[in-house]
A and B are shown apart, each in its own frame.
Chain A
């Protein structure tokens, strides 16, 4: 096993054992923290596909996170008020079923990624960064000014949605769902990275000319990974909304996009488990530093600055000392 493989196994096991210990010690809040880590890591795994494999510096991934969140909020809101979403030409009702909500979240965020990607991937470099950031802001302001689903106040959902055969109100069972989805996304990422598509995509990041000269088109490769990436982050958004039983325009904010990127970077870009390590570190910092100082984000900023300037490999890069 490679050094990174061992680190990955330790991280995966750690994220499983901490909530199990919390269950035994009767610390439900710790289980919730672990669930939050799993969900935010899932969002980061989505971004890491575009950023790590494709080299696409998207500062607008909150769009997909927010769309996933609103997919959950809107469907559950209609279900809890027994008010159908539409009646003509055919009846669409709300739902409290997680699998259905996930499907809607994944499909709608994938469609948004297709549209945003098709426009923004016509450019590259700084333009791409600014454009993804701008589209994120567009969704943010739209969510604020569209009154039907709570506007600035967002939507509250009274009871967590349901998953067949499980009691989602039990923290450890809900954690189990998010953990399994995270592992599935990690497995998917690893497969994509090793696939023909992954080879072409990573080559396009290093030398787009080369990829064209062998008869492949970088634009299509990038658009494809952007859509997959958006869909995974969208799924994470639906779970995040379910964790909080609340969705608001802040899920669309540029800060959210920045935080998702921080998870990826703190852990280590293009490292399979980078986002998991990064999200765990971020939540730990929030929990510990947040208890010490109201202004804990200063220290996150200082840490991020230090990582960028002095430890470009992120956390996993430090632990593995740059080895693969």
Chain B
């Protein structure tokens, strides 16, 4: 197994990881500030992807598609928050689960109604379509590298926003003490809508970026949503830092597991059995990681006790 292959897979793992971070960051913010579990976050991811594919397909501009994805997901997030989600903050988790599950059904079938059951395709823009040569002579797709860069940039931006800006102070206040934000004279309703729309925009961005690598179709959001949950369980709920480290850890574990476990088993088994056992085990690896974290620290690596 060559070093080049390992580096390539590590980069793939990072790319997967930052995507998961964009999803998990919104979820964990929404939970941290509003105490809401949002199953429909995957739908916002899907909406971002569809908006990007539709607009890029019509205009031929990838950037325009990306902007529409952000706008569409944020707008849909704000609408949903104003109409449904804000009725749920005071409800128990069961009601939140059910109502947001209902939203998944509505969004998924609604999208199928509008766009049909066939997948859409979003093309990687020309200026990012080729490979780039990294130091050491590694060829890596420019688009995937761009995703990694965008992901890290968004992560840095979020850390800056939460640590240094006025809105960030309000968010942190909301996480630790809900009474306090009212006492500080902050408009809670507006803050909640804003946080929800921000989380939605991050999900929409993730959906659009991934949409150019995979096909854009109904149901694409939920598997990513569940992985983002695993990230949050590992990282600790309400923690952006936990979400980031959890996401990278999960992205690397999954990607490296899938490419190297079958090879690893191949050293002790015959090839077809090794592929079967290796890939089956690889598909379970992140959940085993989650179980291990649960045994070691039930509140997650960076969760508050």
Chain A interface residues (CB < 8 Å from chain B): 51, 57, 59, 119-120, 122-123, 125-127, 129-131, 133-135, 137-138, 141-142, 144-148, 254, 258, 261-262, 265, 269, 294-298, 300-302, 304-305, 307-309, 312
- Is there an interface contact between B290 and A301, defined as CB atoms closer than 8 Å? no
Q: Residue B106 contacts which of A137, A301, A309 (CB distance < 8 angstroms)?
A: A301
- Is there an interface contact between A297 and B109, defined as CB atoms closer than 8 Å? yes
- Is there an interface contact between A301 and B237, defined as CB atoms closer than 8 Å? no
A-B contacts, 24 of them at CB < 8 A, read A57-B93, A119-B294, A120-B294, A123-B298, A125-B93, A126-B31, A126-B237, A127-B299, A129-B37, A129-B97, A131-B229, A137-B223, A137-B226, A146-B276, A258-B104, A295-B113, A296-B109, A297-B105, A298-B110, A300-B102, A301-B106, A302-B102, A304-B102, A305-B106
Q: Which residues of A contact B101 (CB under 8 A)?
A: 258, 261-262, 304
Q: Which residues of A contact B284 (CB under 8 A)?
A: 138, 141-142
Q: Which residues of B contact A298 (CB under 8 A)?
A: 105-106, 109-110, 113
Chain B interface residues (CB < 8 Å from chain A): 31, 37, 84, 87, 91, 93-95, 97-99, 101-106, 108-110, 112-113, 222-223, 226, 229-230, 232-233, 237, 276, 279-280, 282-284, 287, 290-291, 294-295, 298-299
- Is there an interface contact between B229 and A133, defined as CB atoms closer than 8 Å? yes
Apart from A57-B93, A305-B103, 12 more pairs, CB < 8 Å? A51-B94, A59-B97, A130-B233, A137-B287, A138-B284, A138-B287, A142-B280, A145-B282, A258-B104, A298-B109, A300-B105, A304-B99
The answer for the CA separation of A257 and B233 in the assembled complex, in Å, is: 19
- Is there an interface contact between A301 and B103, defined as CB atoms closer than 8 Å? yes
Q: Residue A309 contacts which of B87, B230, B233 (CB distance < 8 angstroms)?
A: B87
The answer for the CA separation of A99 and B233 in the assembled complex, in Å, is: 39
Q: Which residues of B contact A129 (CB under 8 A)?
A: 37, 93, 97
- Is there an interface contact between B290 and A305, defined as CB atoms closer than 8 Å? no
The answer for the CA separation of A309 and B100 in the assembled complex, in Å, is: 11
Q: Determine how close the nearest CB of chain B comes to the CB of A127; give it in whole angstroms.
A: 6
- Is there an interface contact between A119 and B93, defined as CB atoms closer than 8 Å? no
Q: Residue A254 contacts which of B87, B102, B226, B232 (CB distance < 8 angstroms)?
A: B226
Q: Which residues of B contact A261 (CB under 8 A)?
A: 97-98, 101
Q: Which residue of the partner chain B has the closest CB to A310?
A: B87
The answer for the CA separation of A287 and B219 in the assembled complex, in Å, is: 23
The answer for the CA separation of A133 and B222 in the assembled complex, in Å, is: 11
Q: Which residues of B contact A302 (CB under 8 A)?
A: 102, 106
The answer for the CA separation of A63 and B104 in the assembled complex, in Å, is: 21
- Is there an interface contact between B290 and A134, defined as CB atoms closer than 8 Å? yes
Q: Determine how close the nearest CB of chain B comes to the CB of A67; give it in whole angstroms.
A: 15
Q: Which residues of B contact A141 (CB under 8 A)?
A: 283-284
The answer for the CA separation of A309 and B103 in the assembled complex, in Å, is: 12
Q: Residue A147 contacts which of B276, B290, B298 (CB distance < 8 angstroms)?
A: B276
Q: Which residue of the partner chain B has the closest CB to A137?
A: B226
Q: Which residues of B contact A297 (CB under 8 A)?
A: 105, 108-109
Q: Which residue of the partner chain A has the closest CB to B106?
A: A301
**8 shortest A-B CB distances, which residue pairs?**
A301-B105, A138-B287, A130-B229, A304-B102, A301-B106, A305-B102, A141-B283, A298-B109
Q: Which residues of B contact A312 (CB under 8 A)?
A: 95
Q: Which residue of the partner chain A has the closest CB to B95?
A: A308
Q: Which residue of the partner chain B has the closest CB to A269?
A: B94
Q: Which residues of B contact A254 (CB under 8 A)?
A: 222, 226
The answer for the CA separation of A133 and B290 in the assembled complex, in Å, is: 12
- Is there an interface contact between B99 and A305, defined as CB atoms closer than 8 Å? yes
Q: Which residues of A contact B98 (CB under 8 A)?
A: 261-262, 265, 304, 307-308
Q: Which residues of A contact B229 (CB under 8 A)?
A: 130-131, 133-134
The answer for the CA separation of A305 and B278 in the assembled complex, in Å, is: 42
Q: Which residues of A contact B87 (CB under 8 A)?
A: 309
The answer for the CA separation of A63 and B103 in the assembled complex, in Å, is: 23
Q: Which residues of A contact B84 (CB under 8 A)?
A: 305, 309
Q: Which residues of B contact A307 (CB under 8 A)?
A: 98
